[in-house]
Structure 1
Amino acid sequence: MPFVLIDKPRPDVTLITLNRPERMNAMAFDVMVPFREALEEVSRDNGTRVVVITGAGRGFCSGADLENPGGIPGIDGLTLPTIALRSMELLDDVIRAMRRVHQPVIAAVNGPAIGGGLCLSLAADIRLGADTALFRAAGINNGLTASELGLSYLLPRAIGASRAFELMLSGRDVDASEAERIGLLSRVVPGDKLLDACYELAERIAGFSRPGTELTKRMLWSSLDAASLDAHMGQEGLAQLYVRLTTHNFEEAIKARKEHRPPDFQD
């Protein structure tokens, strides 16, 4: 059975599932390499408008596999220090690959998202959670730093600096209810309704303009990196002008409202 599954549950929607339920979908290299490749493949799939990511079984991703990390590709002849660098680079590339996906990415957090699993969820654009979702920045609990795979960048931007400092330094669990309250999850739904809720959101997003949604995603992430409001507004304005002047989407939206029908954006 492959460690990563790719399905098309609904038109325009691709589901990527981490498929190692017996290990709570831990981040063994045998899982993360095909997961990164799946992200890159789906990003190139023009039949996909929205990507949903989840974990098989009762967990989203339990972080690093401390018992069986799997094989690391391309390390023949290297010594331990360089192998460690290659290993970290490979896992970092998974987070970067999630950010590079053209389409909006929804994380369906169906259970524990621990350590690196928390990082994976934060690299998604949107997070919906089951009532069994649970988050932990686990590095500090293991005698390491809690900062890994971009966590010290992503978490403060998701929930604010003070809460991020507290969670990363305390290593405590955050249940689904608290995660929704502090903005780690945008919504909590019953576990058996989680994927359907993600698909419904995905279908709503897919109903809008492709360049409109893809550029909105880019602009939102760009705003988190912007050095100033002025610098970001210039980029944002160009993105708006690009879609306005190169498509007839605006005219179609006006016409659809007058005709009391959903717009049909042809881009």
Structure 2
Amino acid sequence: MTAPPLSGLPDDRILKTLRAHRQGPVLTVELNVPEQGNAVTDAMLDDLLAVLDDQDPAVRVLILAGAGQDFCLGGDRGEFAEHLTHDATGGGIRVSGVKARRVCDALTSHPAVTIARVQGKAIGAGLALALACDLRVGADTATFRLPELALGLPTAWGGLLPRLISEAGAASVRELILTGRAFDAQEALGLSILQRVVPEEALDDAVDAWARPVLRRPAPALRVTKTLLNSLTASTRLADASVLDPELMAAVVSELHHTRTIR
């Protein structure tokens, strides 16, 4: 059966990096650049904003998935270099960072319940996208990593750091960021980065098992409850400075680029 087009989006041919399809009240948004590991680019951020800003109240569940072997290999470093070529002060990176923050906030605040379906690798920005969702299920073979520090970058993308500390705890997050080591699905489950781990072939069944009871809940109560949960979670982030993420990323990358250039 062909899924109906999204309201406001004539068809998913206008989405360059995503595949979006809807079945009744369930909207699936798939990162769809598998040949590049679904790396996050400005084009992908624009596509995600186009879909997430189109808030049809009939959509009750939004599933975020990744095509191919990996969920998302993080930000596109080649595009970072292009931004610096055009503006060594980091202006392009700053604009991209603002988009990233908007995308992650839109996933968190979306009136639908958002579910991340994670397979393969979820690295850096990919982990941030998954973490912005309400519910997160991963394949038992999934792996995760925060490599920013090893790349000379701050962990400042999409408001990742306060969300990660809120979910996993400051001590664990400190170790993961400073070492940059990979960790598996079972460790992610223990840290509440994932809420469920299943064999990869059971991912769709696990998503369905979450979606079915959500769809039976009265829509007004569900929206209010999600808003309350988000508000209470946000209130525990006593000093959420992630609004400065784009500025921090631009400043550090620009300085690093300048240092390498003059050597």
Aligned to 1:208: 217
Aligned to 2:21: 7
Cα deviation for residue 13 of structure 1 reads 1.1
| Structure 2 counterparts to residues 12-51 of structure 1, below 5 A | 12-41=25-54, 44-51=55-62
Matches of 2:87 and 2:79 in 1, distance apart?
Answer: 20
Q: Mark the CA change 1:188 to 1:86 in structure 2 (over 3 Å): closer, same or farther.
A: same
Matches of 2:202 and 2:17 in 1, distance apart?
Answer: 24
RCO comparison, higher one (Cα < 8 Å, 6+): 2
User: Match for 2:56: what amino acid?
Assistant: D
Matches of 1:102 and 1:184 in 2, distance apart?
Answer: 21
Q: How many residues align?
A: 221
| Structure 2 counterparts to residues 187-198 of structure 1, below 5 A | 187-198=196-207
User: Match for 1:7: what amino acid?
Assistant: H
Aligned to 1:131: 140
Matches of 2:200 and 2:100 in 1, distance apart?
Answer: 28
Q: Mark the CA change 1:71 to 1:78 in structure 2 (over 3 Å): closer, same or farther.
A: closer
Contact 1:51 1:103 in 2 (8 A): yes
User: Match for 1:5: what amino acid?
Assistant: R
Contact 1:20 1:26 in 2 (8 A): yes
| Structure 2 counterparts to residues 83-102 of structure 1, below 5 A | 83-102=92-111
Cα deviation for residue 198 of structure 1 reads 0.6
Aligned to 1:169: 178
Matches of 1:129 and 1:178 in 2, distance apart?
Answer: 11
Q: Equivalent of 1:67, from 52, 55, 78? A: 78
TM-score, normalising length from structure 2?
A: 0.78
Matches of 2:221 and 2:39 in 1, distance apart?
Answer: 35
1:56 correspondence with 2:70: no
Q: Percent of pairs identical after alignment? A: 33
Question: Helix, strand or coil: the match of 2:56?
Answer: coil
Contact 1:133 1:175 in 2 (8 A): yes
Question: Helix, strand or coil: the match of 1:106?
Answer: strand
Q: Which runs of 5+ in 2 are unaligned?
A: 1-12, 238-263
1:157 correspondence with 2:166: yes
Cα deviation for residue 127 of structure 1 reads 0.6
Q: Which runs of 5+ in 1 are unaligned?
A: 229-267
Cα deviation for residue 53 of structure 1 reads 0.3
Question: Helix, strand or coil: the match of 1:129?
Answer: strand
